[in-house]
Amino acid sequence: MKKLAVLFLCLNFLWSFGQEDIKQDFKPSSLNQPGQEYPMVNSQGYVRFKIKAPAADSVSVSLGLGGRGGTKLTKNEEGFWTGTTEGPMDEGFHYYHLTVDGGTFNDPGAKNYYGSVRWESGIEIPAHDQDFYALKDVPHGAVQQILFPSPSTDTSRRAFVYTPPDYHLNTDKAYPVLYLQHGWGEDETAWMNQGKANLIMDNLIAEGKIKPFIIVNTYGMTNEIKWGGIRDFDIKHFQTVLNEELIPYVDSHFRTLDNSENRAMAGLSMGGMETRMITMNKPGLFQYYGLLSGGTYSPDDLKAHDDLKLVFLSAGSKENPERVKQAAKALNDAGIKAVSYVSEGTAHEFLTWRRSLYQMAPLLFN
């Protein structure tokens, strides 16, 4: 009994010590609903939640250290459930949801973002390098929604188009185009909302670091298949939409440089898989390829791609960075220009992909 008591005291001390180490400088998340105090984030990346659910018997949050069921909240006498993540979160954007008595709900304090095939709550852990995607006092481009006809799917489909700040000022100028795809469970809103692609572009252009270009995001039809069946995904339907419907529409409705030399395709995660499939099937349609946590190419894959100017491969340091580095080296050794990038301290998440776009954009269309 004495040994158990000593063990209990030691564990309690360690737990208390860890809790005391959490800085109490919590502030409302930048992605909260207007006027909402919770969720909150501190300077170390811990997240604190407060949910009013007086009739609930259990409340937990999917956000937390991986593999242990997220963060379980504790109910007080006023019917509020509160709790803090066990450890700090990775910097950047994260999806999450609540589980209340076995049901899945969004946090009423947070804004919603489309991911995991549903509108999920979102939270932002301030990153040490967040300046590159910050909203600044610089000229801003426009993001507009378009509806383009799609005979192959018998409907009109939606896309979002980013045009640079000078697009409407310099009407004699034509621009290159990057077709940039989202991941599984997401849709065409992901890159501008979660990814802050428009702000990344605005800042790079303002600093004179890139040649201005247009970005197009459309739904990649990724969610027609469940996560476990991704290997069985058939690219032909989206390939038809992209190649035969969207690209011609963009070229006829925007001032684009309508040739493969000024056309790029890239995607994150499953969007990278789609990029790889389409560029393999349609060599010559694009001359710049980007796979962001989305696989790699081998030299044999690209034997028929004579006009290819660049392959960009990236991953988070918590993913498979060596595979990305080795693939880029093999391509360069074979005479194919390739660049690899590893996002330090991140996994399969949006800060990896924000950083990847920031690194890739200056390499395009040069």
pLDDT over 90 (residue 64): no
Under the banding of pLDDT at 50, 70 and 90, the label for residue 215 is very high
pLDDT computed for residue 65 by the predictor? 60
CA distance 209 to 238: 32
Are 167 and 355 contacting, i.e. CB atoms less than 8 angstroms apart?
no
Could you report the per-residue pLDDT of 307-336, keeping only the tens digit for each? Answer: 999 999 999 999 999 999 999 999 999 999
Do the bridges between strand 288-292 and strand 263-268 make them parallel or antiparallel, or are there none, so unpaired? parallel
pLDDT over 90 (residue 111): yes
Could you report the per-residue pLDDT of 133-178, keeping only the tens digit for each? Answer: 999 999 999 999 999 999 999 999 999 999 999 999 999 999 999 9
Per-chain mean pLDDT for the chain = 93
> What are the structural domains of the chain?
27-126 (2.60.40.10), 131-363 (3.40.50.1820)
Could you report the per-residue pLDDT of 264-298, keeping only the tens digit for each? Answer: 999 999 999 999 999 999 999 999 999 999 999 99
Q: Does the N-terminal peptide bond of residue 34 adopt cis geometry, omega within 30 degrees of 0?
A: no
* Three-state SS letters, the chain: CHHHHHHHHHHHHHHHHHHHCCCCCCEECCCECCCCCCCEECCCCCEEEEEECCCCCCEEECCCCCCCCCEECEECCCCEEEEECCCCCCCEEEEECEEECCEEECCCCECEEEECCEEEEEEEECCCCHHHHCCCCCCCCEEEEEEEEECCCCEEEEEEEEECCCCCCCCCCCECEEEEECCCCCCCCHHHHCCCHHHHHHHHHHCCCCCCCEEEEECCCHHHCCHHHHHHCCCHHHHHHHHHHHHHHHHHHCCECCCHHHEEEEEECHHHHHHHHHHHHCCCCCCEEEEECCCCCCHHHHCCCCCCCEEEEEEECCCCHHHHHHHHHHHHHCCCCEEEEEECCCCCCHHHHHHHHHHHHHHCCC
pLDDT computed for residue 14 by the predictor? 41
Q: Summarize the confidence of residues 231-255 as an average pLDDT.
A: 95
Could you report the per-residue pLDDT of 32-47, keeping only the tens digit for each? Answer: 999 999 999 999 999 9
Under the banding of pLDDT at 50, 70 and 90, the label for residue 69 is low
Tokens coding 2: 């004495």
